[in-house]
Structure 1
Amino acid sequence: DTWEDEPHFSRFHSLVGMPSANLIDTPDNQETLDAFTSAYLPEVFGTEAGNLQEGENARAAIARLSRAVYKERMGVDATDIPNSEVIDGTEYMVFPNMIVWPSFPNPLVYRFRPGKDQTTSYWEISLFIPFEGERPPSGETYHLEDGDKLADVPYFGGLGAILDQDVENLHFMQEGLVANSSGVFHTSRYQEQRIRHYHETLDRYLDGTL
């Protein structure tokens, strides 16, 4: 999402338990639930706990299972928190260098700072785990070198491997941009509108209209 009158924010919202409209064969609710549990909750995949309850759709079942996990692993009661905040991935880009995920599944904050040259940057990732009762001690800070794997950071759990994919993608994207001889950067109409929004804001700062 982007807003014409708000140059400094854009939003990404990833719905969980809603099959893509681009699929030729749309899975039913149980198949959708199985796809989720097999990847993220293998301990309940194929068990009675991993089946739909009467009147449930896939999203409701995933929210039910996720609330149980938050209660068991973090001691957090998410009963009164909307399903979307419990299971979906929502991300805000804050111009110029911060990304915030204000949701239970991915309670992350990214900050990017200039690196040694125009091809590098420092990526700071903070993980904010919800808690109830007395505040726990702050987590340990990990410093990684170029080539180190985020999957090796124990705090990230399964998120580390996903973050590593983002790092690998950036490498190929940067090589492609440098190799582009046309001088034109093409973005897709829908998925990359936030990139255009970001550069429009940057251009407005550079030409003095913002």
Structure 2
Amino acid sequence: MSNLKQAKFTVLPPEEVGNPNMFQELLKQEKVPVPERLDSSFPGFTNEDLPIERYSARWFHELEAEKLWTKAWQMVCRAEDIQKPGDHVVYDIVNASIIIMRGQDGVIRGFHNSCLHRGRALRMSSGAVNQLRCPYHGFTWDLQGEFKSLPTKWDFEHVDPCEMKLPEVKVATWAGFVFINPDPDAPSLEEHLDVMPEHFQDYSMERSVSVAHVQRRMPCNWKVAQEAFLESMHTRATHPQIMTFTGDIDSQYDMYGDNISRSVTPMAVTSSNLNDVDQALVLHDILEESGRMADADSSRHVLPEGMTAREYIGEMNRQMFSEASGDDLSQATLAELQDAILYSIFPNTQVWAGYFGNIVYRAIPDGDNHESCIFDIWLLGRHKEGEPCPAGARLTSLPDDFGFSQAPELGALGKIFDQDLTNLDAMTKGFKASKKGKVTLASYQESRIRHHHLTLDKYLGLDK
């Protein structure tokens, strides 16, 4: 095609399109064995509306503060962010604050961020220290949380040093992610993750490392930001430029137990919203617009005669991802080399599966403000087996008036996130203006949202 920008195709009526079986049909074309983890797993739900109060009401936020964030496993950071003894991250969730620190013994622990003398926060920000010393009066603990010293010992004869160990929260890791749970009686992280370790076992996630980390305050409740990535049906209205290579309304939606859900959006195929899209345009647009392929320069690639864009992108990724990671990807499916396979871990973390190009999202309340949240994006690469894990990417914290496109490390993804951002402030305004007082969900395409709220109700005691 001489001028791809002038390409002509047909946009079909939105009421008449969508093929939720597309992904399974594509799997039948694979030339390597297809793992069972890609099978469909949809339990089906009822269709009651959700009260808007779940997003907008102060009382609901306070119920979450009491019964969700004190009980649930939460991803707080990447292990490569705290590689050395004394490296730590301060994780603030509503009114709680936890120090996640690597000890002198190499173990990662989580301490309640409060001095046992007068209650001052021991650390106000992440960083590296050789001990935990309260800046107020100098009470000091070692990197394992054991009490070391206090001033004027003669005046604290009533204090038993053996009772001055810093209180801890449960800490566990998976695939380089560090999780905490403030509830000492909580089930194990392994139990919480359900199928995740099994489904990710071939992706070398143990050698994953963050190559970008961008954070921004979002003008909405944390669940609104979370739900923006739980469905793909918003693509036509919000991201129309990616429909030439994204099977948005053709996505597969899956649920596993209470805590895990998944969407699978086929890539390098044209959305059912469009017709008569030339394969050369599909190839051009996915390279230029997706932000996840092994190469983003469309001028370097010409589609061979008789080959589909999906086949070409899959084989390109197979070669380049294999070279970058040192892994043999000869038996990888085209789906796992390019499709948007996005898992959600309740309550607030989402991880893209596949052999490379893994994106991670996390949304947490912005302190005690239920109409604002902190949204993090990580991009993960791999380091080769036998090589030491490099340091993780430095955090880019965007000002409130900056868009994600002003974080160059996000590449073409920045524009897509900015398009999502335009909806979020409008959601908060729309909730307040709503006469209906409820939101209505699609039975299938928004089933992951339904699944999320059903699990949330179990934590909050609203499932009776």
In 2, the alpha carbon distance for the partners of 1:186 and 1:28 equals: 36
Deviation at 1:195, TM superposition (A): 1.4
Cα distance in 2 between the residues matched to 1:209 and 1:37: 45
More strand by share: 2
Shift of 1:75: 5.9
- Contact kept? 1:13, 1:89, Cα under 8 Å: yes
Counterpart Cα distance in 1 of 2:417 and 2:399: 15
Q: Contact 1:151 / 1:161 at 8 angstroms: preserved in 2?
A: yes
Q: Does 1:177 align with 2:431?
A: yes
Whether 1:65 and 2:65 are equivalent positions in the alignment is: no
Number of aligned residues? 204
TM-aligned CA distance change 1:97 to 1:68, over 3 Å: same
CA shift, 1:125, in A, is 2.0
Q: Does 1:79 align with 2:333?
A: no
Measure, in 2, the Cα distance between the counterparts of 1:38 and 1:112: 28
The answer to whether the 8 A contact 1:113-1:121 is kept is yes
Note closer, same or farther for the CA distance 1:138–1:186 as it changes in structure 2 (3 Å cut). Answer: same
After superposition, the Cα gap between the structure-2 partners of 1:160 and 1:32, relative to the gap in structure 1 and judged at 3 Å, is: closer
2:321–2:356 CA contact under 8 A, matched in 1: no
The yes-or-no answer on 1:158 pairing with 2:412 is yes
For the residue of structure 1 that corresponds to 2:297, the secondary structure is coil
Matches within 5 A, 1:108-187: 108-116=359-367, 117-133=369-385, 134=387, 135-187=389-441
Deviations 1:35-87 (A, max 9, x none): 43454566344x6x421355x32211111233455467x46556333221211
Query: How far is 1:121 from its partner?
Result: 0.9
Do the aligned partners of residues 122 and 42 (structure 1) sit closer, same or farther apart at CA in structure 2, a change above 3 Å counting?
Answer: closer
Cα gap change, 1:122 to 1:61, in 2 (>3 Å): same
* TM-score normalized by the length of structure 2: 0.40
Aligned 1:92-103 pairs, distance under 5 A: 92-103=343-354
Tell me which amino acid in the other structure corresponds to 2:454: E
Residue 170 of structure 1, CA deviation: 1.5
- Give 3-state SS (helix, strand or coil) of 1:126's partner: strand
Tell me, in whole angstroms, the C-alpha distance in 2 between the residues paired with 1:52 and 1:43: 17
Q: Say whether the 8 Å CA contact 1:67–1:77 is kept in structure 2.
A: no
The 1:166–1:106 alpha-carbon spacing in structure 2 relative to 1, beyond 3 Å, is farther
Q: Match for 1:110: what amino acid?
A: Y
Q: Could you say which residue in structure 2 is the equivalent of 1:33? A: 283
Distance 1:53 1:168, change over 3 A: same
Contact persistence 2:454–2:463 (CA under 8 A)? no
Unaligned runs of 5+ in 2: 1-252
User: CA offset at residue 197 of structure 1?
Assistant: 1.6
1:52 aligns with 2:290: no
Structure 1 residue 204 displacement after superposition: 2.9
Deviations 1:110-147 (A, max 9, x none): 22221141100111222211232523332111122222
Match of 2:244 in 1: none
- Unaligned 5+ residue runs, structure 1? none
Note closer, same or farther for the CA distance 1:154–1:68 as it changes in structure 2 (3 Å cut). Answer: farther
Aligned AA (1:129) = G
Match of 1:20 in 2: 271
With over 3 angstroms needed to count, the CA separation of the structure-2 counterparts of 1:31 and 1:113, relative to structure 1, is: closer
**Residues 92 and 101, structure 1, Cα contact 8 Å, conserved in 2:** yes
Contact 1:88 1:105 in 2 (8 A): no
Q: Secondary structure at the match of 1:20?
A: coil
Q: Secondary structure at the match of 2:441?
A: coil
Partners of 2:362 and 2:296 lie apart in 1 by: 32
AA aligned to 2:383 is: F
Confirm or deny: 8 A CA contact 1:70 1:78 kept in the other structure: no
Question: 1:11: how far off?
Answer: 0.8
Q: How far apart, CA to CA, are the structure 2 residues paired with 1:96 and 1:39? A: 30
**1:76, 1:130 within 8 Å by CA — same for their partners in 2?**
no
| CA distance in structure 2 between the partners assigned to 1:165 and 1:102 by the alignment | 23
How many Å apart are 1:28 and its aligned residue? 4.8
Specify the structure having the higher radius of gyration (Cα). 2
Name the structure, 1 or 2, with higher relative contact order (CA <8 Å, separation 6+).
2
Change (3 A) 1:37 1:126: closer
User: Could you tell me whether the CA contact under 8 Å between 2:356 and 2:380 is conserved in 1?
Assistant: no
Cα distance change, pair 180–208 in 1 and its aligned pair in 2 (3 A): closer
For residues 2 and 62 of structure 1, what CA distance do their matches in structure 2 show? 25
Distance 1:137 1:204 in 2: 38
Instruction: Tell me if structure 2 keeps the 8 A contact 1:2–1:197.
Output: no
